[in-house]
Amino acid sequence: MRTVYAFGSWARGAVDCADLDLVVHLECRWIGPVMRDGEPVEGQPKPPFCDLRKALIGAMRDVEVGDYDEVVSAAHFPENLQLSALVPIWRAPSYVASEMKWPGWRAALDGVTVDPTAGHAPHVADALPLKLMQTTMDRERGERAVRAMQAGLLSWEFRPHGDKHKEASEMNAAELRLAKSHDCRDEDLVHRALVATRDVRKRFGASKVLYWYGKCGIWAEMLAENDCKAVVITPKWTQRGPNGSAVITPGPNHTTAKLDEFERAERRRRRE
């Protein structure tokens, strides 16, 4: 590992940050051949970044770690990231010896001055009804979901949950049976989601509403693939939130032809 950089709102000096964004510059040197499925792999491939992230920070929350090469070359990054936007906060000893100007990690951290005007940079994925960290999507998939919404294939809204004591008293017998039938250990979470989306079941019919508890992705074909008219995603409650349910329903252009057209356009986008 050569260098660890910070970027995003913290690196800009924001007082209140959603998370800490780090980029790791790797230089891999393998001892012996790299094997995959019992066969040697040519060149010097990088190890899976998910394994490296786990080794670096474990299960630490509110820290996002990315690959330096992918970040610098990625055109979809919201800040049009350049090298000047990366704040080096750690360098490997071998590189420190060759760079006399490196002040050290303490000085690097102290060099990030507080800027009350610096805040969250706008992201395309901000249009999602949930934060990315509450879903199974990365930023690219999140932006793809937003494009599906903008194309009229999906509609969504966020339903905040109310007071749990009041909700429990409002549950009728049918809803209680429905709550007990869901495979979710947090019964209170199921109660809250059902009460907050009662009108959705009345509009589409209970058999056409799919409830998902925990992290879930959003994609253009999700309603057609699950043969439903609405998907209700309810992530677990957190101190930061937002705490509630995301209701995904068909958009005005939700047809098989339009879904196929959108998927073809996305394949072209990925090739480019």
Of 129 and 26, more confident: 129
pLDDT tens digits, residue range 210-252?
999 999 999 999 999 999 999 999 998 877 778 999 999 999 9
Of 36 and 256, more confident: 256
pLDDT tens digits, residue range 147-190?
999 999 999 999 998 766 555 566 667 666 776 667 777 888 88
Amino acid letter, residue 255:
T
Q: Is the dihedral of CA 79, 60, 127, 12 positive or negative?
A: negative
Pairing of strands 20-25, 3-7: antiparallel
- Say if residues 141 and 217 touch (Cβ distance below 8 Å): yes
Pairing of strands 3-7, 87-91: antiparallel
Among 43-52, 88-97, 101-110, the range with the most confident prediction by mean pLDDT is 101-110
pLDDT at 258 over 90: yes
Predicted confidence band at 75 (pLDDT cuts at 50, 70, 90)? very low
* 209-240 residues labelled b (16+ CB within 10 A) or e (exposed): bbbbbeebebbbbbbeeeebbbbbbbbeeeee
Residue 151 is predicted with a pLDDT of 95
Residue 223 is predicted with a pLDDT of 96
- Say if residues 231 and 208 touch (Cβ distance below 8 Å): no
pLDDT at 196 over 80: yes
pTM above 0.75, yes or no: no
pLDDT at 195 over 70: yes
Of 133 and 94, more confident: 133
Of 36 and 103, more confident: 103
d(CA 60, CA 215): 17
Q: What is the separation, in whole angstroms, between the first and last Cα of the chain?
A: 30
Predicted confidence band at 47 (pLDDT cuts at 50, 70, 90)? low
pLDDT at 99 over 70: no
Each domain of the chain, given as residue ranges in start order, spans 3-110, 125-259
pLDDT at 261 over 90: yes
